[in-house]
Amino acid sequence: MDALDAQQQAARTWFEALRDRICAEFEAIEREAGSDAGFTYIPWERTDVSGEPGGGGVRGQLTGRVFEKVGVNVSTVGGRFSPEFAPSIPGAEEDPRFFATGISLVAHMANPHVPAVHMNTRFLTTTRRWFGGGADLNPAIPYPEDTADFHAVLKRACDRHDPEHYPRFAKWAEDYFWLPHRGVARGVGGIFYDRLEGEFDANFAFTREVGEAFLAAFPPLVRRRMGLPFDGADLDRLLEFRGRYVEFNLLYDRGTLFGLKTGGNVDAILMSLPPLARWR
């Protein structure tokens, strides 16, 4: 992979710093629950379709008392898209060279009252440059106040940059995180955006804001619900909900497809899958 330019390096540095802060906060929650569970970090390297080194990343995974399974991954990859995949990526139709760096997080919780969550932000370069990402809440047992609080933090983050961001990106999440074969949503939404290109500084500032909003929104919800009692019926509800989550990620998720089509680390790509799920 070629040397990074200033924009690419700035994005990579931010995603790695955000990873460290999120992992520290999740480990703090585990300690509050009386657990000494910590993240295990596994580096990986990628070989491009040309056979040349193509970057890599670090998988961070924790299995604890509160977080049944959480992955926080950062990857920085580059090289060439395959001829079959290149036409589907903006700016790669004629020149298949690309660069991508980003953070991807999925947390599956041990207590059915604590919502699962997904967050991802990324920077891609072809002959064009853009940011994408978002965050969405996925409760097996929804609480309206949790949904409202999560969305309120994201809305404030969006409003600091453009009053049109939240309505547009919340609707985008509503449409994107949808299982058409079942006619149900994956969760209770959040925001989703992609191909945010043009002014690098403004778009990078917004992407950083999304990361900060996630840190402000999700840990309070975990602390609010992690001590609630639950029973077998609650666990059944959790496991069936997770089945829907698996279906979305394997059938429709763009990040899963992008990772597999670009030779990413399979364990890192599929870290979004829960440790247990159920289909009746």
226-254 burial, b for 16+ CB within 10 Å, e for fewer?
beeebeeebbeebbebbebbebbbeebbe
Q: Hey, is 221 helix, strand or coil?
A: helix
- Check if 113 is active-site: no
Catalytic: which of 118, 151, 165, 181?
118
CA neighbours within 13 Å on the CB side: how many for 68? 21
State the DSSP code for 88. G
Rounded to whole angstroms, the Cα distance separating 257 from 251 reads 9
Cα–Cα distance for residue pair 207/211, rounded to 1 Å:
7
Query: CA distances (Å), 52 to each of 56, 124, 268, in order?
Result: 12, 19, 20
The catalytic site residues sit at 118
